[in-house]
Structure 1
Amino acid sequence: MTALPVEGDGSIDWTLVSHVNGLARDLPAPVDSALGFLGEYGVPLLSVLMLLATWVWARRRPDAPGAVAGVLWAGVAAGTALMLNVPVRALVRRPRPFVAHPGQLDLLRSHQANGSFASDHATFTMAVAVGILLVNRRYGLIAMALAGFEGFLRVFMGVHYPTDVIGGYALGTATTLLLAPIAMALLVPLAHSAARGPLAPLVRAPRRGRGARSAPVPAPAGADGRDGVRANRDDLAA
């Protein structure tokens, strides 16, 4: 195994990192701290919250088991992509920008000097976004925007090159899409089975209101339904 060559001062990757990270020098320290927190923890957490919001929506769908299975796959795909990135990092062994260019970047948060390619954060957020997009387009586009913002922040923080982010996006997308047919073939029957057991509330939202407690036999009704109600009352009086 050989490491990727260190990005020289004239490379596009390094030029982009230095320019994007240079924006941090012109911002107030509290803003840098807030953006650093978002890039490390905040945006991934928002991606998880988007996953939960999609699950809440999926439970209310008429095809709830299938939709919930899709949401479950989005989460599993993100974890799978992160595991696949472990051997990728070990194989590539690319130094991070702040390691290859010590003292030349404004590092917003202290970071471990491990492999830079591919970005775990980009991999995770994109895998979640693509998985959600397969289930709900609107939520998926929001999650995509979060993944794009996360990629920018990782470069802004000085901990990744742009190609590290692109590699993470590619890994997250490929994992989610390529394994989806196999995963859904397993998860959809599992969700249907869970919907018939004690785990049913996790798959299908309980119905609320009077209609959920009883299922009255419909009475003949006019256009507005009042004739049917009056007929039922007349039958009871008789």
Structure 2
Amino acid sequence: MAGVESAFARASAGPEIAVDGASNPDVDLLYDINGLTRSTPEWLDRAIGFVGEYGLLVALVVLVLWCWTSVRRRPEPETAVAGLVWAPLAAGIAVLVNIPIRGFVERPRPFLDHKGLELLVHGKTDYSFVSDHATLAMALGVGLFVANRKFGLIGIGLALLEGFCRIFMGVHYPTDVVGGFALGTATTLLLAPLAMALLTPLVTAIARSPRAGFLVRARRAPLTPDTVDLPEPRVADDAADPDAGRNDLAA
């Protein structure tokens, strides 16, 4: 009778996303990646924990600013700058979309359901699916790609590293990270046509402003005699050879 009651309790509790590490590839991969902490020095674990929590997101913000300083020097930078404006906006929208998703799925953090995980960051009490960090990172990376492919590829690479770190730290399942990548990418790309249609005219208007135009176009230094290579004055042959006239008279 007790067995029947326990089975009924498990059934009424709803489906469990990850309960058995031996039969669930998601949990198997979690243990494999997080298990790498046992062979790494403690200082490296602390460094990865800091990088995964703060460092990579800061690096992506710096990358956006670096791209901005680069594209401003182009002859027509309005479209690229509009793409850079869209990147953080898309990241913010994706995180807002994730709020109801987390509330609907209600997936606990992996360290709450599975023993033996090395937890590198403490204090995580919210739900696990989908990863906010993975969502933010990939939205910024894809937004960068919309503005500039070279910087975008670097940004996407940092986002992938962010996802690995979240699993390594023991705070997310692999599917949490994949879901974050999908959410960040979908939000950025699906809304990009509308966002660019609205942002490009705004950025173009700012570029024409005498006061705020430097935000879009890099100001060029005014031309002065010191900065302009003036052609050397041509010297007449007679002036170059003052004795030439005397020689003609003498002849």
Partners of 2:79 and 2:147 within 8 A in 1: no
User: Match for 1:5 among 9, 12, 16?
Assistant: 16
**Equivalents in 1 of 2:144, 2:194: separation in Å?**
17
Pairwise CA distance, 1:100: 1.4
Q: TM-score, normalised by structure 1?
A: 0.86
State the shift of 1:89 in Å: 0.7
Please say if 1:171 is aligned against 2:189.
Answer: no
Superposed CA offset, 1:96-152 (max 9, x none)? 101111x42100110322111111111011011111111211111111110110000
Aligned pairs (5 A) from 1:47-58: 47-58=60-71
After TM superposition, give the deviation of residue 65 of structure 1 in Å. Answer: 1.6
For 1:76, the aligned partner's letter is L
Deviation at 1:50, TM superposition (A): 0.8
> What is the aligned counterpart of 1:119 among 118, 125, 131?
131
- Pairwise mapping of residues 171-190 of structure 1 onto structure 2 (< 5 A)? 171-190=183-202
Identity of aligned residues (%): 49
1:44 is matched with: 57
Secondary structure class of the residue paired with 1:153: helix
Equivalent residue for 2:168, pick from 149, 156, 170: 156
**Would you say the 8 A contact 1:61–1:67 is kept in 2?**
no
Distance, in Å, in 1 between the alignment partners of 2:189 and 2:76 is 21
Q: Is the 8 A contact 2:63 2:151 kept in 1?
A: yes
What whole-Å deviation, never above 9, does each CA across 1:140-174 have from its counterpart, x for those lacking one?
Answer: 11111101100000000010011110100000001
What does residue range 134-153 of structure 1 map to in structure 2 within 5 Å? 134-153=146-165
Residues of 1 paired with 2:58 and 2:190: CA distance?
Answer: 25
Structure 1 residues 19 and 148: alpha-carbon distance in aligned structure 2, compared to 1, 3 A threshold: same
Q: Which of 192, 195, 203 in structure 2 is aligned with 1:191?
A: 203
- 2:82, 2:147 within 8 Å by CA — same for their partners in 1? no
Distance across 1 between alignment mates of 2:17 and 2:147: 41
TM-score calculated relative to the size of structure 2 = 0.82
Matching residue within 73, 77, 90 for 1:60 = 73
SS at match of 2:147: coil
Q: In structure 1, what is the Cα distance between the partners aligned to 2:15 and 2:111?
A: 15
Q: Which 4+ runs in 1 deviate beyond 6 A?
A: none
* Post-superposition CA distance 1:15-73 (Å, at most 9, x none): 11111101111111111000000000001111111111111112111111221111111
Q: Does 1:202 align with 2:215?
A: yes
Which of the two has higher C-alpha Rg? 2
1:73 pairs, out of 86, 89, 94, with 86
Aligned match for 1:34, one of 16, 23, 47: 47
Aligned CA-pair RMSD: 2.2
- Partner AA of 2:32 in structure 1: H
Q: Distance in 2 between matches of 1:135 and 1:31?
A: 34
Which residue in 2 is equivalent to 1:23? 36
List alignment gaps of at least 5 residues for structure 2.
1-12, 237-251
Provide closer, same or farther for how the CA distance between residues 161 and 133 of structure 1 changes in structure 2, counting only shifts above 3 A.
same
Deviation at 1:229, TM superposition (A): 5.4
**For the residues of structure 2 that align with 1:54 and 1:3, how far apart are their CA atoms?**
47
